[in-house]
Structure 1
Amino acid sequence: MQSLNQDVLLSGGSNLGKPIAQCQQVIQYLQQQAAVRLVAISSLYLTEPVSPVEQGWFYNFALKLKTDLSPFDFLMLCQDIEKQFDRKRAEKWGPRSMDLDIIYYGSQIIESEDLVIPHQHLAERKFVLIPLAEIAPEFIDPQRNKSISKILRQTSDRHAVLLYEKKWFETQAVVSL
Structure 2
Amino acid sequence: MMNVAYISLGSNIGNRLEFLQEAVGLLKETQQIEFLKVSSVYETAPVGYVDQAAFLNIVVELKTLFTPHELLGKCNEIEDLLGRKRIVRWGPRTVDLDILLYNEENMKTEDLIIPHPRMAERGFVLVPLMELNPNIIDPRTKQAFSNLVHDQKEGVHLWRKFDGVDAFVHFEG
Is this a same-fold pair by TM over 0.5?
yes
State the Cα deviation string for residues 86-120 of structure 1 (Å, max 9, x = none): 11111101011100000001100111110000000
Distance 1:74 1:172, change over 3 A: closer
Q: Which amino acid aligns with 2:115?
A: P
2:34 matches 1:37 = yes
2:144 matches 1:160 = no
**Secondary structure of 2:78's aligned partner:** helix
Q: Return the alpha-carbon distance in structure 2 between the equivalents of residues 41 and 53 of structure 1.
A: 26
Aligned to 2:71: 74
Report the number of matched residues: 170
1:85-96 paired onto structure 2 within 5 Å: 85-96=82-93
Q: CA deviation at 1:148?
A: 2.3
2:109 matches 1:112 = yes
2:12 matches 1:11 = no
Distance 1:39 1:172, change over 3 A: closer
2:96 matches 1:102 = no
| Structure 2 unaligned residues grouped into runs of 5+ | none
Q: CA RMSD in A?
A: 1.7
| Structure 1 unaligned residues grouped into runs of 5+ | none
Pick the aligned partner of 2:53 from 29, 52, 56.
56
Runs of 4+ deviating beyond 4 Å: none
Output the TM-score relative to the length of structure 1. Answer: 0.90
Q: Return the alpha-carbon distance in structure 1 between the equivalents of residues 25 and 44 of structure 2.
A: 22
